[in-house]
């Protein structure tokens, strides 16, 4: 029965995804002005340049043509994975067009890339729904699919940009990190390295996620070392092996470098720095105008490029605190509840714009379940009835990751802001809340908790699914669809 319910839910998701996506493709972000903005023309240019890399000439050697076949081209702003993927969609007559011009071939590739984004994100949602239903209740799985698809993926899929690819790889990397904190097997760290490297090729800000994981897992190792040597302490019941930690991090780093290596090598040859990134320089300027001026008038390798040291030398602490505070408020509001502005998109374009409302519902449901399981259920009698000892490390990882991105994106807000920054976090946070709620339910069931606790939890999940579905029905009934 649960799989039949999921099938009906996924059929509705597929219909709404394709119907809304088709209209978004036809009526938004498709003028020449749109194509020339938001990095879309830069991605088109890199895709056109990457076409020649897909047919390596081994008469010139083996290692270099093979290295060039992998995604590596970047201009310091657009990362190579999405242009490399788009290059496979380019026609045989596709050439590199002028930077300020949109040719007919550009428009064909542009539309192919956007249709590809809409199609493959639907496939991802179906896989995500099936995977979640194997371990979650159907209501929770449906909510993960609805909020991920219409809250994060589809709004960005209609752009010729890497965000849909990045969001998916970011979600996989986050999930692998969470699993590795539960049981630090070596193969899970290999997955973190590979998918983290691919995410880096789509958007280099994923290094913050990996850095937080390394920090939290090392703190977990340190705590395990203290437990092992503390007089009179008993070894806890855990699947996290302290002896695996350092070799696991080595394997993770090795796989990351092997995956991202061609891009790092290309950046080193072209710009003089393997980790070259213009946005990493722009964030130490005051606004977008300064960033554009610095980019146009100064080389990326010029002496004293913008950095924390140059910024802190010319700004007071009060100015920096104000910038960070206002930036966090702006970026956070853009994600959870964007303020309508003049010329704002129509209702059918906004879809689930009140993302904070849905997150708040999930958070309230999780908090209620936690209180009921902890205080209105029999006390745990064995390890199977208690929360897993690694839950603290997983919670710390999720909390620290969100905090780090809030600070970094908040600081970057004067240069550029919008929902696309924080939306990378939306799906992982939704998944974590569902994961935590289901884990609490399993512990409550093993303790013999009262049936009303489970009934209340499932009712909350299905009410949320109903409200989100009703919002999508409202969008589908918009006159724009009926005319």
Q: Which of 98-102, 106-110, 300-304 has the least mean pLDDT? A: 300-304
Percent pLDDT > 90 in the chain is 39
- Mean pLDDT score across all residues of the chain: 85
Confidence of residue 478 (pLDDT cuts 50, 70, 90): confident
Tokens of 128: 């995500």
Q: For 25-29, 466-470, 473-477, which range has the lowest pLDDT when averaged over its residues?
A: 25-29
CA–CA separation, 51 and 43 (whole Å): 13
Q: Between the ranges 55-59, 225-229, 293-297, 439-443, where is the mean pLDDT highest?
A: 439-443
pTM of the complete model:
0.92
Of the chain, the end-to-end C-alpha distance in Å amounts to 38
- CA-based Rg of the chain, rounded to a whole angstrom? 24
pLDDT band per the 50, 70, 90 thresholds, residue 433: very high
Mean pLDDT, rounded, for 34-50:
84
- What is the Cα–Cα distance from 374 to 369, expressed in whole angstroms? 8
**Which pLDDT score, from 0 to 100, does residue 467 have?**
93
> What pLDDT sits at residue 440?
87
Nearest-angstrom CA–CA distance, 128 and 14: 13
Count other C-beta atoms under 10 Å from residue 372's C-beta. Answer: 20
Which pLDDT does position 235 carry in this prediction? 56
pLDDT grade, residue 350 (50/70/90)?
low
3-class SS of residue 227:
helix
Would you say residue 307 has pLDDT above 90? Answer: no
Rounded distance between C-alpha atoms, residue 439 and residue 110, angstroms: 43
Q: Report pLDDT digits (tens) over 46-105.
A: 888 888 888 777 767 667 777 778 888 888 888 999 999 998 888 777 777 777 788 888
C-alpha of 77 from chain center: 18
Helix 419-447 to helix 355-375 angle, to the nearest 10 degrees? Answer: 20
**Distance, CA of 308 to CA of 110 (rounded, Å):** 37
The contacts of residue 197 (CB under 8 Å, 6+ apart) are 255, 256, 257, 258, 259, 260
pLDDT recorded at residue 194: 96
Q: Which residue has the tokens 């219909």?
A: 15
**Sorting pLDDT into bands at 50, 70 and 90, what band is 429?**
very high
pLDDT category of residue 461 using cuts at 50, 70 and 90: very high
The closest alpha carbon to 411, from 292, 289, 284, belongs to: 284
Percent of the chain scoring above 70 in pLDDT: 89
Q: Work out the average pLDDT over 381-389.
A: 63
Confidence (pLDDT) at 237? 60
Output the pLDDT for position 295.
80
Does residue 223 surpass a pLDDT of 90? no
Instruction: Give me the pLDDT at residue 250, please.
Output: 95
pLDDT at 386: 65
Q: Over 70: is that where the pLDDT of 340 sits? A: no
CA angle 175, 177, 178 (to 5 degrees): 65
Q: Please compute, for residue 168, the number of CA atoms within 13 A of its CA located in the half-sphere on the CB side.
A: 23
- C-alpha–C-alpha distance, residues 464 and 131, integer Å: 20
From 19-23, 33-37, 197-201, 283-287, the region with the lowest mean pLDDT: 33-37
Place of tokens 């699914």: 465
Checking phi first, is residue 287 left (phi over 0); if not, alpha (psi -120 to 50) or beta? beta
Residue 339 has pLDDT above 70, yes or no: no
Half-sphere exposure of residue 307, counting CA atoms within 13 Å on the CB side? Answer: 8
Q: How confident is the model at residue 298 (pLDDT cuts 50, 70, 90)?
A: low
Residue 398, CB half-sphere, CA atoms under 13 Å: how many? 20
Residues 159, 114 contacting (CB under 8 angstroms): yes
- The rounded distance, in Å, linking the Cα atoms of 273 and 220 is 33
What average pLDDT does the segment 381-401 reach? 79
Q: Identify the pLDDT of residue 34.
A: 80
Residue 458, pLDDT score: 92
- Calpha distance 481→483 (Å, rounded): 6
The DSSP annotation for 231-252 comes to TTPPPP--S--GGGHHHHHHHH
For residues 418-446, give the mean pLDDT: 87
Question: 250-259, 264-273, 335-344, 356-365: which has the minimum mean pLDDT?
Answer: 335-344
Q: What's the pLDDT tens digit per position in 156-209?
A: 898 888 999 999 999 999 999 999 998 888 999 999 999 999 999 999 999 999
């Amino acid at each position: 029965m649960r799989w039949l319910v999921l099938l009906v839910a996924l059929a509705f998701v597929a219909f709404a995804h394709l119907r809304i996506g088709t209209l978004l493709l036809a009526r938004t972000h498709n003028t020449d002005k749109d194509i020339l903005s938001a990095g879309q023309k830069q991605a088109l240019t890199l895709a056109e340049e990457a076409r020649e890399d897909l047919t390596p000439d081994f008469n010139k050697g083996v290692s270099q043509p093979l290295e060039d076949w992998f995604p590596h081209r970047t201009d310091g702003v657009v990362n190579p994975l999405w242009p490399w993927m788009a290059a496979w969609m380019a026609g045989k007559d596709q050439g590199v067009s002028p930077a300020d011009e949109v040719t007919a071939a550009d428009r064909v590739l542009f539309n192919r890339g956007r249709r590809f984004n809409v199609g493959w994100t639907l496939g991802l949602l179906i896989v995500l729904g099936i995977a979640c239903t194997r371990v979650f209740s159907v209501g929770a799985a449906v909510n993960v699919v609805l909020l991920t698809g219409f809250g994060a993926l589809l709004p960005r899929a209609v752009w010729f940009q890497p965000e849909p690819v990045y969001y998916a790889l970011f979600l996989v990397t986050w999930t692998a990190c969470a699993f590795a904190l539960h049981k630090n097997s070596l193969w899970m760290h290999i997955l973190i390295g590979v998918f983290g490297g691919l995410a880096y090729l789509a958007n280099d800000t994923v290094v913050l996620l990996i850095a937080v994981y390394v920090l939290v897992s090392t703190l977990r190792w340190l705590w395990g070392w203290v437990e092992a040597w503390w007089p009179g302490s008993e070894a806890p019941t855990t699947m996290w092996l302290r002896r695996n930690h350092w070799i696991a991090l080595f394997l993770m780093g090795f796989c990351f470098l092997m995956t991202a290596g061609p891009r790092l090598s290309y950046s080193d040859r072209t710009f003089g720095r393997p980790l070259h990134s213009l946005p990493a320089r722009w964030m130490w300027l005051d606004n977008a105008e300064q960033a554009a001026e610095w980019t146009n008038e100064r080389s990326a390798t010029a002496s004293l490029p913008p950095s924390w040291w140059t910024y802190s030398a010319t700004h007071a602490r009060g100015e920096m605190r104000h910038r960070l505070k206002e930036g966090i408020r702006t970026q956070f509001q853009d994600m959870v509840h964007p303020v309508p502005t003049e010329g704002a998109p129509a209702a059918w374009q906004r879809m689930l714009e009140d993302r904070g409302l849905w997150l708040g519902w999930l958070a309230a449901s999780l908090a209620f379940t936690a209180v009921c399981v902890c205080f209105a259920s029999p006390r745990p009698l064995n390890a199977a009835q208690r929360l897993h000892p690694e839950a603290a490390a997983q919670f710390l990882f999720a909390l620290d990751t969100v905090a780090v991105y809030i600070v970094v994106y908040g600081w970057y807000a004067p240069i550029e802001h919008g929902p696309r920054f924080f939306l990378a976090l939306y799906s992982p946070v939704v998944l974590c809340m569902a994961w935590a709620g289901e884990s609490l339910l399993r512990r409550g069931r093993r303790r013999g908790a009262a049936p009303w606790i489970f009934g209340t939890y499932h009712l909350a999940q299905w009410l949320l699914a109903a409200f989100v579905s009703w919002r999508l029905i409202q969008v589908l009934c918009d006159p724009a669809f009926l005319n």
